Amino acid sequence: MDYNSFAPFLVGLASLLHCVGMCGGIIGALTMSLPAEVRQNPLRLSSFITAYNIGRITSYTLVGSLLGYLSMTTGIVDSEYGRYLQIIAALFLAGIGLYIAGWFPAFARVEKIGAPFWKYLEPVGRKLLPVRSRPQAFLFGMIWGWLPCGLVYSTFVWVLASSSNPTEAAVSMALFGLGTLPGVMTAGILTGGLARIRKAKWSRQIFGLLLIAMALVSLYVLYSSQGNAHHH
């Protein structure tokens, strides 16, 4: 598997603190709204949290396959536009890194891009509350997958620019979702402890720098592949 396919997983993995900030509150509230007998049984609780996350990752994967279809029909991967999109995705990622580190607070406005669409979906999600079954948790997770998020947008742009077919793009988005699992799953179980880590300046800067480093690696890989293409 090349870097382009695997990059979304690494982005998901490096987004731990962002996931805790964005989704920690949601998963924490969902956990608290479950019946006491579910919350007090670690096995049952983790099965509900897993159902939420499978729903969320399913949404990412479906969007991925649509982006892959768009990429395949337009031939964007092999065009100049594909390279521009990859640069935009890398800059987006760097912006998120700077935002998490506390060096670029204004970047939070980017997450408002999806707000108009979320306005219609959010009431649908609310109708599924309180969650009382795993299928209900799965459906809520699918709605949750559309929550406005800069990291998700960045990965969408990257996948559109680097995947040449629906399957490849769907796998990339599923990998991104799997990468976010440690952050979101842990947030559902250890909300308080992770919130404290998230507030620590050093941890925000470490995770911010991780994302900035990934953005730089992405640009380097893109530059190298272009160099090799010209060389051949």
For residue range 43-96, what is the model confidence (pLDDT) as tens digits?
998 899 899 999 999 999 999 999 999 999 999 988 888 889 889 988 988 988
Q: What is the per-residue burial (b if ≥16 Cβ within 10 Å, else e) of 123-140?
A: eebeebeebeebebbbbb
Residue pair 207/19 in contact (Cβ under 8 Å)? The answer is: no
pLDDT for the residue numbered 148? 87
* Torsion on CA atoms 62, 210, 107, 82, rounded to nearest 10: -50
**Domain assignments of the chain as residue spans, ordered by start:** 3-227
Is the bond into 166 cis (omega within 30 degrees of 0)? Answer: no
Q: How far is CA 202 from the centre of its chain?
A: 22
With a CB cutoff of 8 Å and minimum separation 6, the contacts of 21 are 198
For residue range 12-54, what is the model confidence (pLDDT) as tens digits?
887 777 776 667 667 777 877 888 888 888 899 889 989 999 9
Residue 10 CB neighbours (<10 A)? 18
Q: What is the Cα gyration radius of the chain? A: 18
d(CA 93, CA 221): 15
